[in-house]
Structure 1
Amino acid sequence: MKTHDVQSISIAKPRSEVFAFIANPANLPKWTNAFKSADAESAELVTPNGAVPIRLETRASAEHGTVDWIMTFPDGSMGAAYSRVTEDAGDTSIYSFVLMAPPVPLEMLEGALEEQKKTLAKELVSLQARLEA
């Protein structure tokens, strides 16, 4: 059973600009459907059952171009998302995102990841449009 998905998108902006936008957790609601709000320590995660407050840790390294998020849910379970901004030709960047399966019971895992994959694809297009505008 697959427990992750990797997706990427090309963004016609310099790596430093793309990284700065993605590394700021307050921008998560601007390009993702998963967050109603977010800051350096917490977030409201949108779920089918409503918004859930979570602890959010953003681990960003400008030197390496990595932005990772560690999410702690009210029940103590944890989730993670890993991403990287890579320089491409000219002033273009590649943003890659490793989507990890959500912390849900095994019987729900496959369907949950499949839904999140579709959502992520749309979110990456939204991010690209926002940054290239």
Structure 2
Amino acid sequence: MKTHDVQSISIAKPRADVFAYIANPANLPDWTNAFKSADAERAELVTPNGAVPIRLETRASAEQGTIDWIMTFPDGSVGAAYSRVTEDAGNSSIYSFVLMAPPVPLEALEGALEAQKKTLATELVSLRKRLEA
């Protein structure tokens, strides 16, 4: 059973600009469907059952280009997402995102990850459009 998915997208902006935008958790609601609101410590996550308040930790390293999110849910379960911004030719960047399966029961894992993969693909296109505008 697959427990992750890796996707990437090219963005016609310098690495530093892309990194700065993505590393700011307040921008998450602008380019993702998953967040209703977010700041340096908490977020409101949109789920099929409504919005859920979570603890959000953003671990960002400009030097390494990594931006990771650790999400702690009200029941104590923890989810994670890992990403990286790398330089591409010219003034472009590549943003790669490792989508981890959500902390759900095993029987729901496969369907949950498949749905999130489709959502992530759409979100990455939204991110590129926003940053290239």
Relative to the length of structure 2, the TM-score reads: 1.00
Question: What CA distance in whole angstroms lies between the structure 2 residues aligned with 1:31 and 1:65?
Answer: 19
* Alignment correspondent of 1:15: 15
Shift of 1:110: 0.1
Superposed, 1:76-115 pairs within 5 Å as: 76-115=76-115
List, as ranges, runs of 4+ consecutive aligned residues in structure 1 with deviation greater than 3 Å: none
Deviation by residue 1:80-103 (Cα, 9 ceiling, x = unmatched): 000000000000000000000000
The AA in structure 2 aligned to 1:119 is T
Structure 2: how far apart are the matches of 1:60 and 1:78?
18
Deviation at 1:27, TM superposition (A): 0.1
Given the two structures, how large is their TM-score scaled by the length of structure 1?
1.00
The letter of the residue matching 2:45 is L
Within 5 Å, which residues of 2 pair with 1:18-37?
18-37=18-37
Structure 2 distance, partners of 1:128, 1:91, is 14
CA distance in 1, matches of 2:60, 2:89: 23
Mark the runs of 5 or more structure 2 residues left unpaired by the alignment: none
> 1:63 aligns to what?
63
Amino acid at match of 2:4: H
Please state if 1:119 is matched with 2:116.
no
Q: Alpha-carbon deviation of 1:15?
A: 0.1
Deviation at 1:128, TM superposition (A): 0.2
Q: Take 2:91 and 2:123, find their aligned partners in 1: how far apart are those partners?
A: 22
SS at match of 1:97: strand
Unaligned runs of 5+ in 1: none
Deviation at 1:75, TM superposition (A): 0.1
Q: Separation in 2 of the partners of 1:74 and 1:2? A: 26
Once residues 101 and 2 of structure 2 are traced to their aligned partners in structure 1, the CA distance between those partners, rounded to angstroms, is: 8
Identity across aligned pairs (percent)?
Answer: 89
Q: Distance in 1 between matches of 2:38 and 2:66?
A: 18
SS at match of 1:103: coil
**Aligned AA for 1:46?**
V
Q: Provide the aligned length of Structure 1 versus Structure 2.
A: 133
